Chain A
Amino acid sequence: MKKPSRFRNVSRRGFLALGGKTIAAVTGLSLLPGTSLAIEGPKTNTLAAIPKASVQPVILPTDINRRISLVGTDGWASIAGTTPIKIVGGTANVFPDPLADASIGKNVYTFGFRNTTGLDANTVAGLKGEAQISAPLLFVDEEDKVTITLGNLGLQIRPDLVDSHTIHWHGFRNAIPLFDGVPEMSIAVPVSRDFTYFYFPHDPGTYMYHCHFEDVEHIHMGMTGVIFVRPGQNKLGGTSLINTPISAIGYDLLPSGTPKASGYYPKGYAYNDNQPISVDGSPNPLSTAYDREFSLFMSEVWAAAHYNDAHIQATDWSDYKSDFWLMNGRAYPDTMLPNLDTLADYTTATPPAGINSYDAQRLQSQPISSLVTANSGDRVLLRFVSLSYQQTSMTLPGIDMTIVGKDAVYQYSDSRESIGTGHPRLNPVSTVVTSNTIYFGPGESVDAIFIAPTYDATLPNSRTDASGSYNYYLLYNRGLFQLSNGSDSGIGGQATEVRVYPSGTLLAQTAPNA
């Protein structure tokens, strides 16, 4: 049923014509805070040390703005739960998993991604069995040409299992199947091989990515994370980007590591809003400007399914019933601990302030903090994302949140979003709403902005840490069954704190979630 193509090899020839030169210097890298990776060198073939059947080298053109390398593998996580869980009618503990290294608090088997951008091949090979939960936080700029090279390191605990992996950029508009990551609709990456995905994102907003290979299992096992696209407006100081070439740009945003002055620039924008930050001295709800940004990624753990994968047992997914609810891969109170460096050796290295050596080792594969910190008056962007299998209802008593984006769509509509849809809009309208509880389902994203209230030392919710005194507010899942760690008593699961310091206390953010 297949017809011969007249286009064989044209693509390769066409792209050699682009100039098969070595890779030019790459602009700044957009990756998880806390990893030690800063600048990517010319190494892009993440599995170079592993023999493979390639007869053609992967030649990368010079006009790629962002090169990201990831690998898929397995690993172990540590979930803040103490009550053992047994299979109904069974005697073995499915939680904590008896195969896990209890000496550093590991208790759940996972699959996941690792960021290998800029790492040498030996270091990459050493990451087998060191999956990260949740996946590296990725971000790119609108109109960047992006490659993500995915390598498959195989599974340390399951050498019998030769599962391939893929990357599905969930929500990417006008996707083409080769780069959509559904293995039945195009390709998958087998063990010891890699593949370079290409993206040309035109639509800013918050998205997610995950493996789509045997998706019911691989997503639940932890191959899930956040990717977001920053708007071109960031580079234009508030002027509309639409139909403006990227060439004439200049940042005038708040630089990292500087204190915010009055009459300041924001750190960035969530969308191309073309809106003033304030109107008549009051905050403009249509503005997507922010001083600080935090991604909060929701996922679940059904302990029996994780145990089954480690112990060569089958799982009937129609029996799905989660035991743990995670935010950025951790359960409360671990959610409030700081970002970690996934490549550090915390047996000897000094951990970041606010976490001890044991917890740093225990949570090193879950490096992303969910602690939200801000100065009074800061505009704080929360990017809520879920790849759970159940709904989430995040509430922040005491501080209202304004929902400016859903599913990578700015909630103030005008003619710009009708480009190419054949559906022109006649009336600009706002669907921006303010709320203190945000309900969203699996596979949805919500961008919400709050303005940090004025610090008040007389309030009972006051504490002091190394940065100074602050008021704290709980941010948690009002789906109360999701606010526990297994059968443990007390609060757990999808909860964290928002900490508000006096104006001028914290320097400008150096990275999301930092």
Chain B
Amino acid sequence: MPLFRPKIFVNGLRLGVLLLMCAILAGSLSAGQDVSAATTSPKTGLVCTSGPSFSLAAKSGYISLPDGNSSFMWSYGLVTGAAPAGAFQFPGPFLCVNQGDVVSITLKNYLAEDVSMIFPGQTNVMANGVPTAPQFDVNGQLTSLTQVSAAKTTAGPGTITYTFVADHPGTFIYESGTDTEKQVNMGLFGGLVVRPAGHPDYAYGRSDSQFNPANEYAMIMSELDPALHQAVERNIKYDITQQHARYWMLNGRSFPDTIQDNSAPILPKQPYGSMVRLQPYSATANPNPALVRYLNVGALNHPFHPHGNHGRVIGRDGQAFAGPNGEDLSYEKFLVLVGAGQTYDVTYTWTDLDQWNPATNPIPVTLPQQQNLTYKDGVTWYSGSPYLGHQDDLPTGTTSYNQCGEYYQVWHSHALNEAANYDLGFGGMFTLERIDPPTATQTSTGHTCS
């Protein structure tokens, strides 16, 4: 079945992608970066908000979805000098701290009901100076997993301060502990990264967890049921047993939005991209792997499959895979089944093992066989050449997003009903890995990646 939506819609999508690609290229060519002057985020990779003290605001707002839909959301926004009442963003900021930090998070609540934050994996969490504990009403009914930041009133927003010592490194979730089945789906979640003491380029306090800090990524997996969000927006009743996800997201975006840059202007409230970008393994030029932190804040398990190579799973839920004597118990997988509420830390490399080269080591089949091929919908990420760093002709009328002979691989949920935006395929919990040619190859071919 070709596509599941009227053609004009698809063309609109494609046009959007084209315009974005132009924007990306324009951005990459000008030194000014004028459209995103407000941020200094790298184009790809984890965008850290550094601590150890943070001020957040629970707010409502709207996000956009790639099929043209939009959704009402709740989220943890960042309170800054420019936005003292908090700036809505989805998901909440990635909070980055160092092992041993006393972390303090003040949560102001601008929503009309109580909200809270819980920190799975942290111990001795305090709320306003007293130990956190589940909350019960006068009838003994559980009302919240922890102390709340009270609903906003005419007197102003509720407020609460959570504190804890980040005593072990890893990747963690933070999320609402109040009316969780509703509030978490509404968007009240984010990620927490604790770096090992003295080693910002280690995932854990062991040398075999070293990664390339230029290639650090995080992907928050979530689901979205638009019926729930409509019901909350309109303040009407919603039967949680009828929950039915229609959108599946990485870092609060669905493909193809996932591959937009961090802080892309077209997604003003969804600042985090998920494009993974790296260069091939090289013992001298690129010895350390990329690190990808998966965080599943959804209610479902997500089987996530990176094309191109296995990943090495080095830790889960803030615990390195290690034996009692420090043995390395990490393992390689071509799919990681990330359970609801789990985090995984996975390192990646891509190695040009066979060193195919058009002049000295050609791939032993006839190429390119263009007469017998199609480029789906007339657009492609392909370079026209199978060789990394090389480009070759594509048929007239085919648009290529390829810049410098780089490779693209898809990374996606292999529960393929989740690789969709509602009824539209090639979307959802899906992103790309971009493998740039080695710098020496870029120099020799003249195809420079930017």
Question: A residues touching B (Cβ–Cβ < 8 Å)?
Answer: 1-3, 5-8, 10-12, 14-15, 18, 52-61, 63-64, 145, 147, 161, 163-164, 168, 170-171, 173-180, 182-190, 193-198, 200, 202, 213-217, 219-220, 308-309, 314-318, 320, 387, 389-391, 406-409, 411, 413, 417, 420-427, 429, 431, 440-444
How distant is the Cα of A308 from the Cα of B423 in the complex, in angstroms?
14
Contact (A164, B1) CB under 8 Å given A195-B369, A407-B310, A427-B328: no
B288-310 CB contact bits vs A (8 Å, 1 = yes)? 11000000000001010101111
Cβ B349 vs Cβ A443 within 8 A: no
Residue B354 at the chain A interface, CB threshold 8 Å: yes
Interface positions, chain B 260-294, Cβ under 8 Å from A, are 281, 283, 286-289
Q: Closest A residue to B445 by CB, please name it.
A: A6
| The residue from A56, A182, A214, A426 contacting B1, defined by CB atoms under 8 A apart | A214
Name 13 extra pairs, CB < 8 A, besides A53-B371, A219-B416, A318-B417. A56-B369, A58-B366, A174-B351, A174-B352, A184-B410, A185-B381, A198-B363, A411-B331, A426-B327, A427-B323, A427-B327, A427-B328, A442-B303
Cβ A389 vs Cβ B417 within 8 A: yes
How distant is the Cα of A177 from the Cα of B405 in the complex, in angstroms?
11
In the complex, the 9 A-B pairs of residues with the closest C-beta atoms, listed nearest first: A443-B414, A320-B417, A171-B334, A193-B372, A441-B303, A14-B362, A178-B386, A441-B337, A316-B423
Contact (A8, B393) CB under 8 Å given A14-B358, A185-B380, A425-B328: yes
Which bracket fits the contact residues of B? Answer: 35 or more
Cβ B417 vs Cβ A317 within 8 A: yes
Cβ B4 vs Cβ A182 within 8 A: no
What number of residue pairs across chains A and B have CB atoms under 8 A from each other? 302
| The residue from A7, A170, A175 contacting B390, defined by CB atoms under 8 A apart | A7
Cβ B359 vs Cβ A184 within 8 A: no
How distant is the Cα of A431 from the Cα of B323 in the complex, in angstroms?
11
Contact (A195, B373) CB under 8 Å given A7-B358, A173-B309, A442-B303: yes
| Min C-beta distance of A168 to chain B, whole Å | 8
B413-428 CB contact bits vs A (8 Å, 1 = yes)? 0111101101101100
How distant is the Cα of A362 from the Cα of B390 in the complex, in angstroms?
50
Cβ B364 vs Cβ A315 within 8 A: no
How distant is the Cα of A408 from the Cα of B359 in the complex, in angstroms?
32
Cβ A184 vs Cβ B353 within 8 A: no
Cβ A198 vs Cβ B365 within 8 A: yes
| The residue from B244, B384, B445 contacting A2, defined by CB atoms under 8 A apart | B384
| The residue from B1, B363, B447 contacting A161, defined by CB atoms under 8 A apart | B1
Q: Which residues of B contact A5 (CB under 8 A)?
A: 384-385, 390-393
Cβ B381 vs Cβ A184 within 8 A: yes
| The residue from B325, B362, B380, B432 contacting A11, defined by CB atoms under 8 A apart | B362
| The residue from A54, A176, A389, A407 contacting B335, defined by CB atoms under 8 A apart | A407
Cβ B331 vs Cβ A214 within 8 A: no
Cβ A7 vs Cβ B364 within 8 A: no
Q: Which residues of A contact B309 (CB under 8 A)?
A: 173-175
- A interface, over-half SS: loop
How distant is the Cα of A170 from the Cα of B305 in the complex, in angstroms?
9
How distant is the Cα of A187 from the Cα of B305 in the complex, in angstroms?
20
Residue B374 at the chain A interface, CB threshold 8 Å: yes
Residue B208 at the chain A interface, CB threshold 8 Å: yes
Interface positions, chain B 372-412, Cβ under 8 Å from A, are 372-376, 379-382, 384-388, 390-394, 400-403, 407-410
Cβ B337 vs Cβ A444 within 8 A: yes
| Min C-beta distance of B212 to chain A, whole Å | 9
| The residue from A185, A196, A317 contacting B369, defined by CB atoms under 8 A apart | A196
Residue B367 at the chain A interface, CB threshold 8 Å: yes
Cβ A14 vs Cβ B359 within 8 A: yes
Residue B142 at the chain A interface, CB threshold 8 Å: no
Cβ A314 vs Cβ B369 within 8 A: no
Cβ B1 vs Cβ A420 within 8 A: no
Cβ B327 vs Cβ A214 within 8 A: no
Cβ A189 vs Cβ B373 within 8 A: yes
Contact (A7, B387) CB under 8 Å given A389-B417, A420-B349: yes
17 contacting pairs across A/B (C-beta < 8 A): A5-B384, A18-B364, A60-B365, A161-B2, A164-B374, A173-B309, A176-B388, A183-B376, A190-B374, A200-B354, A214-B426, A217-B1, A318-B417, A406-B331, A407-B332, A413-B331, A441-B414
| The residue from A314, A409, A429 contacting B4, defined by CB atoms under 8 A apart | A314
Contact (A59, B328) CB under 8 Å given A216-B419, A421-B312: no
Residue B245 at the chain A interface, CB threshold 8 Å: yes
Q: Which residues of A contact B199 (CB under 8 A)?
A: none
Residue B152 at the chain A interface, CB threshold 8 Å: no
Residue B329 at the chain A interface, CB threshold 8 Å: yes
How distant is the Cα of A156 from the Cα of B400 in the complex, in angstroms?
33
| Min C-beta distance of B119 to chain A, whole Å | 27
Cβ A318 vs Cβ B287 within 8 A: no
Cβ A7 vs Cβ B386 within 8 A: no
| Min C-beta distance of A454 to chain B, whole Å | 34
Q: Which residues of A contact B445 (CB under 8 A)?
A: 6-7
Q: Which residues of B contact A417 (CB under 8 A)?
A: 332
| Min C-beta distance of A358 to chain B, whole Å | 32
Cβ B367 vs Cβ A12 within 8 A: yes
How distant is the Cα of A168 from the Cα of B398 in the complex, in angstroms?
22
Q: Which residues of A contact B388 (CB under 8 A)?
A: 176
How distant is the Cα of A351 from the Cα of B123 in the complex, in angstroms?
66
Q: Which residues of A contact B382 (CB under 8 A)?
A: 177-178, 185-187
Q: Closest A residue to B427 by CB, please name it.
A: A216
How distant is the Cα of A187 from the Cα of B281 in the complex, in angstroms?
26
Q: Which residues of B contact A61 (CB under 8 A)?
A: 364-365
Contact (A431, B331) CB under 8 Å given A171-B310, A185-B381, A389-B417: yes
How distant is the Cα of A177 from the Cα of B308 in the complex, in angstroms?
8
How distant is the Cα of A322 from the Cα of B446 in the complex, in angstroms?
51
How distant is the Cα of A495 from the Cα of B408 in the complex, in angstroms?
39
Interface positions, chain B 420-443, Cβ under 8 Å from A, are 420, 422-423, 425-426, 432
Contact (A423, B364) CB under 8 Å given A216-B416, A417-B332: no
Residue B144 at the chain A interface, CB threshold 8 Å: no
Q: Which residues of A contact B21 (CB under 8 A)?
A: 1
Q: Which residues of B contact A170 (CB under 8 A)?
A: 305, 334
| The residue from B327, B379, B420 contacting A317, defined by CB atoms under 8 A apart | B420
Cβ A59 vs Cβ B2 within 8 A: no
Cβ A444 vs Cβ B335 within 8 A: yes
Q: Which residues of B contact A52 (CB under 8 A)?
A: 371-372
Residue B136 at the chain A interface, CB threshold 8 Å: no
Q: Which residues of A contact B327 (CB under 8 A)?
A: 426-427, 429
Cβ A184 vs Cβ B351 within 8 A: no
Cβ A187 vs Cβ B375 within 8 A: yes
Cβ B329 vs Cβ A444 within 8 A: no
| Min C-beta distance of A467 to chain B, whole Å | 37
Contact (A147, B376) CB under 8 Å given A5-B393, A422-B288: no
Q: Which residues of A contact B367 (CB under 8 A)?
A: 11-12, 178
Cβ B380 vs Cβ A184 within 8 A: yes
| The residue from A59, A216, A407, A422 contacting B417, defined by CB atoms under 8 A apart | A216
Q: Closest B residue to A169 by CB, please name it.
A: B307
Q: Closest A residue to B415 by CB, please name it.
A: A389
Cβ B323 vs Cβ A429 within 8 A: yes
Q: Closest A residue to B394 by CB, please name it.
A: A2
| The residue from B244, B350, B372 contacting A174, defined by CB atoms under 8 A apart | B350
Q: Closest A residue to B329 by CB, please name it.
A: A429
Q: Which residues of A contact B401 (CB under 8 A)?
A: 1
Contact (A177, B408) CB under 8 Å given A61-B364, A170-B334, A391-B337: yes
Cβ A421 vs Cβ B349 within 8 A: yes
How distant is the Cα of A180 from the Cα of B286 in the complex, in angstroms?
24
How distant is the Cα of A5 from the Cα of B395 in the complex, in angstroms?
14
Q: Which residues of A contact B356 (CB under 8 A)?
A: 176
| Min C-beta distance of A150 to chain B, whole Å | 10
| The residue from B329, B352, B415 contacting A431, defined by CB atoms under 8 A apart | B329
How distant is the Cα of A180 from the Cα of B380 in the complex, in angstroms?
14
How distant is the Cα of A147 from the Cα of B369 in the complex, in angstroms?
14
Residue B130 at the chain A interface, CB threshold 8 Å: no
Residue B182 at the chain A interface, CB threshold 8 Å: no
